[in-house]
Structure 1
Amino acid sequence: MSYSNYVLPAADRAGKWSLFMAWWALFSAMFWIYIAVASASAVGVTNTLIGIVLTVVTYGLINLVLSRYAARTGLSVNLLSRTLFGVIGSGLAALIFAATAIYYAVFEGSIIAVALQQFFGGSIVMWYALVVAYAVPLAIGGVRNWLDRLNGILLPLYFAGLVAVVIAATVIRGVPSHWIGEAAPQGALPGWLSSYLIYMGVYIMMMYTFDYARLGKKKDQNFHSQASFGWVFYLCTFGLSGLVGIYIMSAWGLEASETGVVQAFISSLGFIGVLVIFISQTRINTANYYLASSNLDALALRFGLRLPRYFWAIISGVVVFLLMLTDVLSYLLKALAWQGVFVTAWVSIALVYIALNRGKQDQLPEVRVRKLPLLNAGALAWILSAGTGIALTEQTAAPVLAQLAPLITVLLAAGLYYLAYRLQQPPTVTEAELSERDREVLAADAALS
């Protein structure tokens, strides 16, 4: 039972270490290695390290707020979005979230397929099919069933793999010279700011945080806001993974690319490198498929389509496989850039909403569909700010504005939503005010998820 369409009750929350292990699946994404290497290639290693430090601080603070609020209320991204944007607006949020999770599943799954093909040979289509076929069943069980145990077992193995690849690369290639102090390419913006803006492109992690944090118990908020979803997690995810990626790519003299990361691991560790990649991508894709399926489930329920969540996990797998068969990298980064604008605007709006309601500890946002408008003033603020961000990203007349688009989007979304909130304040409700009929209807939706 996923409760994708219902406030998660206390009895269905996950234990502290169960949720911790399930969430830390996201630590092992090869994407974090790739993004650090890409940033270092663009602005230099020193600027990238400064950008990572600032990013860890920012992500730690934002997710501290979001994770506490999600745990207190039991809301998902979809449910909070109903209050922020209305019923139709929440559907757009669920669609964007599911699509982004699917795109990341394509990227991470392709990494495994490429590694297997490079080492064993054979058809890449065959490896794509195998990668999807084994990943989907892992996500069907859900976080509280066995994803926590699976990822708990694999986590120390991945840590050991990171240590091993650094040692092996050093033994084989020697310590790369000047890999920290190399000159940074010149640009219109300071290099550290450019690196920081690159990491703003993965604010989808805030949405991931929200949907996972709602599974936590209220008494565990302090632990989760620091260790699970806060600065500890991002220090390892962005800091440790980034350093390892920059180091091994420098040692082998490889260009920043997803295949380059695979080549560095295999060149350093051989079959063990393939195994490390397999472990890392298996862990991250359990989260990608779980969140894609739960948000597709929530979206379908809005159209009266009640199907088990495992059905949407299978649909997610089919879509991932079909996307793998296309020239996905030619449009993947563009699609993620556009969706990233919507996501950064969502994060900004959610933070403003939480700040404006910080004194209402006994209140929950109203999530009952029949008591909410199809669209509200908040939806207009979201669409306008995201539309502006996309326009800035795509225009070529002022390259600096294109680079600053994520930051401008965040500030514009916050300002516009503040005005929208004052114009049309979303309703709140106490848990006791939910009628028995409301509970029965919502619980029926949840039981089919």
Structure 2
Amino acid sequence: MRGDMVQRGQQVTRRARMWMSPGLGVKRWLLLFVVCTLVGAVGVLHFTWTGPLHFVATRWILWVNHLVSPEVMPLYTGGMALMVLSLLGALWSIMMLSRSVLRGTGTAPEQAVDLMYQRRHLARGPRIVAVGGGTGLSNLLSGLRVHTGNTTAIVAVSDDGGSSGRLRASLDMIAPGDLTDCYAALSDSPVMARLLLHRFERGDGIQGHTFGNLLLATLSEEEGGLSEAMLDIHEVLRIRGRVYPATTQPATLVARLNDGRTLRGESRFAAEMGEAQIQHVQLDPPALPALPEVLHAIREADQIVLGPGSLYTSIIPALLVPEIARELRASPAPLIYVASLMTEPGETDGLSLEDHVQAITRHLGRLPDCVLVNSAVPPRDVVARYAEGGAHLLNLTGATRELRGRAVVLPLLQPGQARHDPAALAQALLHAAPRRDQG
């Protein structure tokens, strides 16, 4: 029992220190409250002593004097004791009022200081714009959310396969799948994050769809489009940061291959490319609008991250929106490309890391300032399994001196897997980013 009391005392002490921590916005108002209380006490004393209640003030003073023995301590200590007790009582009443208000809003009073500290800390985090799609982007966001609340994800929405493709065809909307993954990664509600990713395994019409995709489709229908529903989405899902589509209009990704063929729709790439390689991709229609919030986020960014994700179907499609490309080229923020761990069969077969960087530069019109490359090697059985499917590790083998000069090589793998570790990737981005030269 004594141990429980000690632990509880430590928790109270920790919370008290957190309340007094810099940047929480509490100390200034607490000081103002104390000053106003003291000034108010002086005002009451002056009014009663100089006004018609002079006799009342005299009786108060005499009553307090009776409580203090002049032989033991000065008479003024009685007034000081009353002043301290009244101030503590006022503070206690405010604390209890705050607890009642917090309970009324569904917030546990014991967690209030933790939530405030966390949000204030995250609000001072770097403004990071992450561009891409697929599981790579959502994986990155899950790592960044621990360090900053100022993350903006710009998500490619040209997917035309699976649940997203079916909703696109039925409702003439943008592909919601990658948006759903990003919302789940940044949601402050673990329950909501889990629900968003729930995929229906049965049911006519909904089999294969995720709850998140259906939710976005519903909000899009209700509001007349996802651009109008963005504020509602961020509020309902309790997003730590912002997630926006690269464009709010449906578009088809078109690839031109080195054998002269043209493929429409990214779902056809892996199935029909054969031995050919992609030379160029574009969106149809090409003149697609971007949300004003997206352009503002790029202008205000401290850092812009491309990837990780599929080169031609996740990263580059977001760069093909004209207004986004223009803002990215003009931004003074460092542009960081998170290199894929492996080539992707049916999309980047035979491409080196240098080829990936050149493809981004060719489509965007700006060379990444930094290329973040993984140095850890996955287990042999994992590498062998990927090799059977035609995927191979990407590294700096054969890279030019210029690329090596821009590369930051760090161990970024999740143990025993061939995927980026969210925590390691977030730390690398926060510490390894160079400053882009001005002018």
TM range (shorter): under 0.3
* Greater RCO, 1 or 2 (C-alpha within 8 Å, sep 6+): 1
| Structure holding more helix per residue | 1
| Structure holding more strand per residue | 2
Normalized against structure 1, the TM-score is what? Answer: 0.21
| Rg larger in structure | 2
